[in-house]
Amino acid sequence: MVCMVSNALIMKLLDFISEDGVSVHQLTCRTGLDHRTIKKYVDLIIAIQKWKRVYTEQVGLRIVVRREK
């Protein structure tokens, strides 16, 4: 199953998440996204935060993507 993730939608969602907390319903109203999409994106964000940091570096003419050791 291939799933397309929109950078703009994730950034929009991140802008609305506050330190005080916000419900999925509030995010649905503010972003105009479906609640199932919000839940999937939040799960994705949480999963990414648990992984080691990923960064890029230029080696010669190539850009190499590496994960923290």
Indicate whether this model's pTM tops 0.75. Answer: no
Residue 69: predicted pLDDT: 80
Residues 6+ positions from 17 with CB-CB distance below 8 Å? 27
- Per-domain residue ranges for the chain? 7-67
* Residue range 20-59, pLDDT digits in tens: 999 999 999 988 889 998 998 899 889 988 988 888 999 9
In angstroms, how far is the first alpha carbon of the chain from the final one? 30
Which fold does the domain 7-67 belong to in CATH? Arc Repressor Mutant, subunit A (1.10.10)
Q: Which pLDDT score is estimated for 36? A: 92
Distance CA 61, CA 18 (A): 40
pLDDT value of residue 8: 82
Residues in Cβ contact with 23 at an 8 Å cutoff, skipping those fewer than 6 apart = none
